[in-house]
């Protein structure tokens, strides 16, 4: 949001530093392992992964290879596929999807 809104701040005063540093930290978190905490899916992946999925979907996050690969790993999980199918069915029921 800070980048999109062109907020002016000193990186040392923001919890995320500058935008590029934040993206590098995110890439590092999803590179070299299946999920954030290793080989096991965790609540961290629900929160962080959900945010990454949303931001990629609406082009709010650059589709860097590490983010796309992480998104694909999340999307391959049967539980997420079932949840996405339920959400799509509800959206269609309410006329919100085609």
Cα distance between residue 89 and residue 4, in whole Å: 32
Task: Look at residue 7 and tell me if it is in a domain.
Answer: no
Question: Does residue 3 sit within a domain?
Answer: no
Number of domains in the chain: 1
pLDDT tens readout for residues 24-66: 999 999 999 999 999 999 999 999 999 999 999 999 999 999 9
- On whether residue 80 sits in a domain, the answer given is yes
Which range marks the domain in which residue 32 is found?
16-93
Q: How far, CA to CA in Å, does 56 sit from each of 36, 44, 52, 76?
A: 17, 18, 6, 16
pLDDT of res. 9: 66
Which structure tokens are listed for 1?
């949001």
Residue 18 confidence (pLDDT): 83
pTM of the model as a whole:
0.84
What is the pLDDT of the chain when averaged over all its residues?
91
């Amino acid at each position: 949001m800070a980048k999109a809104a062109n907020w002016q701040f000193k990186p040392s005063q923001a919890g995320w530093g500058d935008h590029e540093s934040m993206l590098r930290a995110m890439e590092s978190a999803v590179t070299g392992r299946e999920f954030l905490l290793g080989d096991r899916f965790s609540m961290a992946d629900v929160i962080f992964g959900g945010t990454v999925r949303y931001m990629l979907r609406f082009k709010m996050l650059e589709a860097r290879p590490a983010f796309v690969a992480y998104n694909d790993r999340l999307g391959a999980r049967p539980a997420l596929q079932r949840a996405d199918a339920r959400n799509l069915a509800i959206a269609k029921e309410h006329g919100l999807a085609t």
